[in-house]
Chains A and B, each alone.
Chain A
């Protein structure tokens, strides 16, 4: 009995803390710990970055002197306060403070992901796929994108939508919107129609060539309204396929696909991991940042269509996508990435 009372006391203490965190809009302790690391890393890298990139020769040359040292101390303090591992942060700061001035290659500083463009597939007269229950792809993609937008904005990402209502936006315009917005990543949300109606699953695409007849048909179907000629296409493709952006896009696709399958598989047993694939989607072609197209569910499968009718399932999809975006952003903000090597046997990486 005493044991039960003790357990109850402990449970109530944690429960109250969880609710106090909720009132103050703080994440749960588990998340907070992780975010603390992120914050520490971000502040440390910012401090380092500001000294290295924007520090004038005066600042760098007088780092040891009393007045500018105050600025460095405050930067160091900012870096140290939230850190869970003070030694490493202090060491990083010390390196920044004592190293002689060096020419800085901006490429060593990984660019953070701040601005995300969400592209709800189809819209207006372009309905996308349809399920017998009356579900229409364009409506569902917008709903999921709006949910995802709320989640990402809560995480302080800046979100731009290619459409916010039921309107037709050309594929070219979607890419142009993302480019004009100066987006860091582009996520296009679609629902699949798989010929074998018993199949259900998630798959994520990045830009690349394919010789798979199924993917060729799928890309042709999605590209139908682009207005590009085959010559335009070839020209654009040649320019894009060799780019570094393709590697970044593949990395983003892998991260999002992993999050989609891992999260949705828990509530949708039988979900298939249909993998990360390369295909020439126009909407990915016209963007100038890492870009993916996620087929987040299959309307052709009766069971999945029924799940998609439920707001909770659509919320799960948005949560999974948000998780993928966060993970990608973390990987970019983390240790500088070396040149990415195309995976062996990966379609599109051998050209």
Chain B
């Protein structure tokens, strides 16, 4: 007689900037997707840990060999260190929901991991490899599909999931999306950061800035269109903290992702069966951290006017919507299906 193991279902959104996990025991956590190893013996002694993950890694980056192991939602190609960093990140997420790396204590883990819509086969295999030993059974899903599943937006809906690395578009027709129903653009949150960094260097060459500072400013003050209050930040100029107005730069950087986004949205809409196009236009869902840019939804709605108008809504919980969707899939899949998906 076989012993029936207790099952823990988890959904994981493995993101370029942040990764989140939702578990069937009610735990939900989000961490910054950074992993760092102490640079030397001194750092190891100070930090008292062999590896640091998330915010802790970011805050101690001067003492660490710091890795942001995902680029555009995918494990960076060819670097063993980055593959190791992804494993550490996954284990860290699992530990946050109560899975002990050394002793699972008879717990059976069923995981659903979201990857960008157009993630290539090799990248999916890399994710599977990274999850070996971490889960008993594993399913890889397209991230916007996980979002749609979690929101039960399965019919005549378009999901636009904009993270740091990629902007994923997916039209839900009540069936598993095919390549024709999905798009992934490399212009997303990181692209905005790069644009903002470039504009800052061009227009405020004296200011000493880092990509981490730029990223923080974007997360606090990103916008598209009109802004009532100016965006001012503090950055050292010749070592002296100085207030700089970056309203124009912020707008320009955020609006840089609009042209490819609008083109992809309208192109995907035009491929929907004609009788359902209006329904899809009125069911556009914006998710992901970069989807929170102020004014993005209204701007997309304005663009939809050219094709008969439509509605764009922003999800209430963009941080966890992907991992919650993964958890919902994990819970709904029957035991017999999970048996086929051993990690």
User: Is A196 close to B, CB under 8 A?
Assistant: no
Task: Give Cα distance in the complex from A2 to B271, angstroms.
Answer: 28
Chain A residues, Cβ within 8 Å of B141 = 15
Task: Give Cα distance in the complex from A267 to B263, angstroms.
Answer: 9
- Are A266 and B333 interface neighbours, CB within 8 A? no
B160-192: which residues lie under 8 A (CB-CB) from chain A? 165-166, 174-176, 178-179, 183-186, 191
Interchain CB contact (< 8 A) of B122 among A8, A19, A150, A269: A150
Interchain CB contact (< 8 A) of A311 among B77, B179, B184, B340: B77
User: What is the predominant secondary structure among interface residues of chain B facing chain A?
Assistant: mixed
Task: Give Cα distance in the complex from A15 to B194, angstroms.
Answer: 36
Contact-residue size bin, chain A (C-beta under 8 Å from the other chain):
20 to 34
- Are B71 and A311 interface neighbours, CB within 8 A? yes
- Are A14 and B176 interface neighbours, CB within 8 A? yes
Interchain CB contact (< 8 A) of B154 among A8, A267, A268: A8
- Are B72 and A311 interface neighbours, CB within 8 A? yes
- Are B174 and A19 interface neighbours, CB within 8 A? no
- Are B183 and A267 interface neighbours, CB within 8 A? yes
Task: Give Cα distance in the complex from A23 to B132, angstroms.
Answer: 12
User: Is B317 close to A, CB under 8 A?
Assistant: no
- Are A267 and B184 interface neighbours, CB within 8 A? yes
User: Is A270 close to B, CB under 8 A?
Assistant: yes
Task: Give Cα distance in the complex from A319 to B175, angstroms.
Answer: 26
Interface size on B, residues (CB 8 A): 46
Chain B residues, Cβ within 8 Å of A310 = 71-72, 186
Chain A residues, Cβ within 8 Å of B179 = 30
Contact indicator per residue, chain B 24-39, by CB within 8 Å of chain A (1) or not (0): 0000000000000000
- What residue of chain A has the Cβ atom nearest to residue B119's Cβ? A312
- Are B122 and A20 interface neighbours, CB within 8 A? no
**Most interface-central of A12, A15, A30 (chain B CB within 10 A):** A15
Chain A residues, Cβ within 8 Å of B178 = 30
Task: Give Cα distance in the complex from A312 to B190, angstroms.
Answer: 13
Interchain CB contact (< 8 A) of B149 among A11, A266, A315: A11
Question: With A11-B175, A15-B329, A16-B340 in contact, is A267–B140 under 8 Å at CB?
Answer: no
B227 to chain A, nearest CB (A): 25
Mark A residues whose CB is within 8 Å of B: 4, 7-8, 10-16, 18-20, 22-23, 30, 147, 150, 154, 266-270, 306-307, 310-313, 315, 319
15 of the cross-chain contacts (CB-CB < 8 Å) are A7-B154, A11-B175, A12-B333, A15-B141, A20-B341, A22-B128, A147-B77, A154-B122, A267-B183, A267-B260, A268-B260, A269-B259, A269-B263, A310-B186, A311-B77
- For the A-B complex with A11-B149, A306-B194, A315-B77 known, give 18 more contacts whose Cβ atoms are closer than 8 Å: A7-B155, A8-B149, A8-B154, A14-B176, A16-B139, A16-B340, A19-B138, A22-B140, A30-B178, A266-B183, A267-B260, A269-B259, A307-B186, A310-B72, A311-B72, A311-B74, A311-B76, A312-B186
What are the 8 closest A-B residue pairs judged by CB atoms, nearest first? A312-B72, A14-B176, A269-B263, A16-B337, A310-B186, A312-B186, A7-B174, A269-B260
